Amino acid sequence: MEIKEVGIIGAGQMGNGIAHVFAVAGYDVRLTDISEEALERARGVIEKNLDRQVSRGKVSAEDRDAALGRLTMGTDLAPIGACDLVIESATENEAIKRKIFESLAPHLADKTILTSNTSSISITRLAAGTDRPERFMGFHFMNPVPVMKLVELIRGIATDAETYETLHGVVGKLGKSAASSEDYPAFIVNRILVPMINEAVYALYEGVGSVSSIDVSMKLGANHPMGPLELADFIGLDTCLAIMNVLHEGLADTKYRPCPLLVKYVEAGWHGRKSKRGFYDYRGDEPVPTR
């Protein structure tokens, strides 16, 4: 199947990045969100990131203008259903994702492929709530989407070969690489990455080291570009906790128990960079460790 028009649900950090890369790759893109403010923010972020790519010679000014011309935004979910490909990129909450697919169902064209950008939730379970489990897949982009080269492709138990091959081809047209994962909790990247972050939070919780010492140890000792606590703030502590809960519940193994300190930060509303406080305080000129 040829994909020409792509609908993206959710204009947050991931959604606007996904819209960006599809528009640059020549697809017509419809970006929707329940919030006009979120859509306005998304347009500003996309324009800023495109300008940065132009200044670095990665995108021409003409291609930037053409990409912006291919991007349509709105709060109405109905037009998304007519797209060849739909990518749900709402918050990491299964109930919310299910409700979105239920609301979209009356508007879907027969041809439409449904996907979710979930970072951990069962694709088989999400697909089972739709009228097309054979044309439903996990389509998991990495953050920040315009920079990161990987897309995880996750087949549910009912996903057919044509859907998989179509999306594998789309990944190539985006200039990215695909990794295929089985439909197990958190897939490949987050199955490995987020428990490492959780262990770093345990090291902080147990007094093994401070925020600064844990992060500098992993940057200089393991050559990681970001420390695990800095990375947790970048991802969002609420997202990290949601993924740990999926792992803990889905695999029934105590090694995936979320650290109580991670739970406490999320309960406080300290979700990282997006809320200006997490393991670092971002309200000043420079981030300051909070412990």
Please tell me which residue in 152, 181, 230, 248 is annotated as part of the active site.
152
Q: Quote the crossing angle between the two packed helices 260-267 and 189-205, to the nearest 10°.
A: 90
113-116 and 85-88 strand pairing: parallel
8 A C-beta contact, residue 101 and residue 129: yes
Q: Which residue type does 245 have?
A: N
Find all residues with CB under 8 Å of 25, minimum gap 6, and list them: 173, 174, 175
Determine whether 119 is an active site residue.
yes
Please tell me which residue in 20, 140, 248, 271 is annotated as part of the active site.
140
Buried b (16+ CB within 10 A) or exposed e, 109-141: eeebbbbbbbbbbbbbebbeebebbebbbbbbb
| Angle at the Cα of 96 from the Cα atoms of 94 and 97, rounded to 5 degrees | 65
State how far the Cα of 176 lies from the Cα of 78, in Å rounded to an integer: 29
Determine whether 275 is an active site residue.
no
State how far the Cα of 15 lies from the Cα of 90, in Å rounded to an integer: 8
Which stretch of DSSP H or E encloses residue 235? Answer: helix 228-235
Please tell me which residue in 116, 117, 190, 198 is annotated as part of the active site.
190
Please tell me which residue in 49, 89, 116, 119 is annotated as part of the active site.
119
Would you mind telling me the total number of residues written for the chain in this entry? 291
Residues serving a catalytic function are: 119, 140, 152, 190
